[in-house]
């Protein structure tokens, strides 16, 4: 490739450090698609003959079939996927292959290939997240009335429903999907035709190549076109946020599956055993999802640091842009699939969830609210009264609803027998009817909206 300028070849070390074909072979579909679009444009613009354009297109189609069947050959002397494809094209069609690189550089070529790959990756992630949302919504519908403890600081706070809890993760994933959609929209301008950094003197039609590759149009500045990796960073930042949400859900499953909680039983398909303790059922899939989140965040940081001090336009540092994106994508796709399987097949122990909700004085706020509504007590005073009631129940080792009315009246005479209707966990969740609250009717309404929205995407 450099024969006209260099008298000698690279050292073995230079060959190894310079070659990217071991990892950028993953771009072969995008590279061939971009080259076919470029060749068609060159032929339509009369920059190469129709015969040469047809030969190039036919050769590229043949290469695509070879790679699909046999994989991409890895040869460090050919450096990257671009030269690997071009070298094979020359073997197939002869000198006409040399015309393919007219009016383009590897700089705009790789930027285009990588954008196409990231765009495809976003589509795959979005489909996976939609499937996970559907699993969450289905289980939330099933457990719209299953009472469980809501926690703050991992202390029992107020009763909620399991359906409400699961729908919280549906909301997180909806934001994740919106971030990926935003990233795709920003990425959807085509760098092809920017050449090395300054554009080209050939009369190319950048609008045509952009349209044929499904972009909204061409990029507007040739320097930015070849040096931009914001689209990769956008993908990684969205992936890191998404992995954080998956990690939180995985952590819930890990804690809930432990014997002190016993809220959920994970299926054999997402559990492992111990090499020495036969009774163990370990939530390894969830733990690995939790672990993958750190690696995905690390990939985001890695590319951020690679790009932070690069001057315009292209620098070889940017060859290191692809490994962190590829790694993060693989880990994220696997994590999404694992959590989808766990959510869909886990067995939730409604009896254990209810028992935990009934412990820890979780309806204390309901007592305070009752005092405000029924006795016209200012909330701060009601909070203080309720604190005294909780202290008494704690001393007697009983639930709030088990305290006799005389004991409650001794704390505040305004309390009467109607209070017991507010102190059950079912009454507590039913009372939370504000929009987005945990009342079963609210949960079912949100589930219905989510189902309709997911169905409408088809």
Half-sphere exposure at residue 263, Cβ-oriented, CA atoms within 13 angstroms: 21
Contact 402, 393 (CB under 8 A): yes
Cα–Cα separations (whole angstroms), residue 163 to 336, 423, 446: 20, 21, 10
List, by residue number, the catalytic residues. Answer: 153, 274
SS (H, E, C) the chain: CCCCCCCCCCCHHHHHHHCCHHHHHHHHHHHHHHHHHHHHHHHHCCCCCHHHHHHHHHHHHHHHHHHHHHCCCCCHHHCCHHHHHHHHHHHHHHHHHHHCCCCCCHHHHHHHHHHHHHHHHHHHHHHHHHHHHHHHHHHHHHCCCCEEEEEECCEEEEEEEHHHHHHHHHHHHHHHHHHHHHHHHHHCEECCCCCCCCCCCCCCCHHHHHHHCCCCEECCCHHHHHHCCHHHHHHHHHHHHHHHHHHHHHHHHHHHHCCCCCCEECCHHHCECCCCCCCCCECHHHHHHHHHHHHHHHHHHHHHHHHCCCCCCCCHHHHHHHHHHHHHHHHHHHHHHHHHHHHHHCEECHHHHHHHHHCCCCCHHHHHHHHHHHHCCCHHHHHHHHHHHHHHHHHHCCCHHHCCHHHHHHHCCCCCHHHHHHCCHHHHHHHCCCCCCCCHHHHHHHHHHHHHHHHHCC
């Amino acid at each position: 490739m450099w024969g006209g300028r260099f008298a000698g070849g690279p050292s073995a070390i230079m060959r190894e450090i310079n070659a990217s074909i071991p990892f950028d072979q993953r771009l072969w579909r995008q590279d061939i698609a971009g080259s076919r679009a470029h060749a068609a444009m060159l032929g339509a613009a009369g920059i190469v003959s129709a015969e040469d354009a047809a030969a190039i297109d036919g050769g590229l189609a043949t290469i695509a079939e070879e790679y699909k069947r046999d994989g991409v050959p890895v040869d460090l002397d050919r450096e990257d996927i671009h030269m690997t494809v071009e070298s094979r094209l020359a073997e197939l069609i002869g000198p006409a292959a040399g015309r393919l690189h007219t009016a383009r550089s590897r700089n705009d070529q790789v930027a285009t290939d990588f954008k196409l790959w990231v765009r495809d990756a976003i589509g795959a992630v979005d489909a996976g997240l939609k499937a996970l949302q559907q699993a969450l919504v289905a289980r939330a519908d099933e457990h719209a009335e299953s009472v469980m403890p809501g926690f703050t600081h991992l202390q029992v706070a107020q009763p909620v429903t399991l359906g409400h809890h699961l729908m919280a993760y549906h909301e997180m994933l909806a934001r994740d999907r919106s971030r990926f959609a935003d990233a795709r929209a920003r990425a959807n301008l085509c760098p092809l035709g920017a050449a090395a950094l300054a554009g080209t003197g050939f009369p190319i039609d950048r609008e045509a190549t952009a349209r044929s590759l499904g972009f909204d149009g061409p990029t507007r500045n040739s320097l930015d076109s070849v040096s931009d990796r914001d689209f990769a960073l956008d993908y990684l930042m969205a992936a890191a946020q998404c992995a954080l949400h998956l990690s939180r859900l995985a952590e819930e499953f890990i804690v809930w599956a432990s014997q002190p909680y016993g809220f959920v039983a994970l299926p054999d398909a997402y559990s492992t055993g111990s090499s020495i303790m036969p009774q163990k059922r370990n939530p390894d899939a969830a733990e690995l999802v939790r672990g993958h989140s750190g690696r995905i965040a690390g990939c985001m940081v890695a590319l951020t640091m690679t790009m932070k001090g690069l001057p315009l336009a292209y620098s070889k540092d940017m060859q290191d842009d692809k490994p962190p994106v590829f790694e993060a994508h693989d880990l994220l796709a696997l994590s999404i699939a694992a959590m989808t399987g766990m959510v869909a097949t886990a067995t939730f122990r409604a009896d254990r969830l209810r028992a935990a909700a009934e412990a820890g004085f979780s309806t204390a706020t309901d007592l305070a609210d009752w005092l405000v509504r029924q006795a016209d007590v200012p909330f701060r005073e009601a909070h203080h009264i309720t604190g005294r009631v909780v202290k008494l129940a704690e001393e007697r080792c009983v639930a709030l609803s088990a305290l006799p009315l005389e004991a409650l009246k001794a704390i505040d005479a305004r309390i009467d027998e109607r209070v017991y209707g507010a102190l059950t966990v079912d009454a507590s969740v039913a009372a939370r009817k504000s929009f987005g609250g945990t009342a079963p009717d609210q949960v079912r309404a949100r589930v219905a909206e989510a189902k309709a929205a997911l169905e409408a995407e088809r």
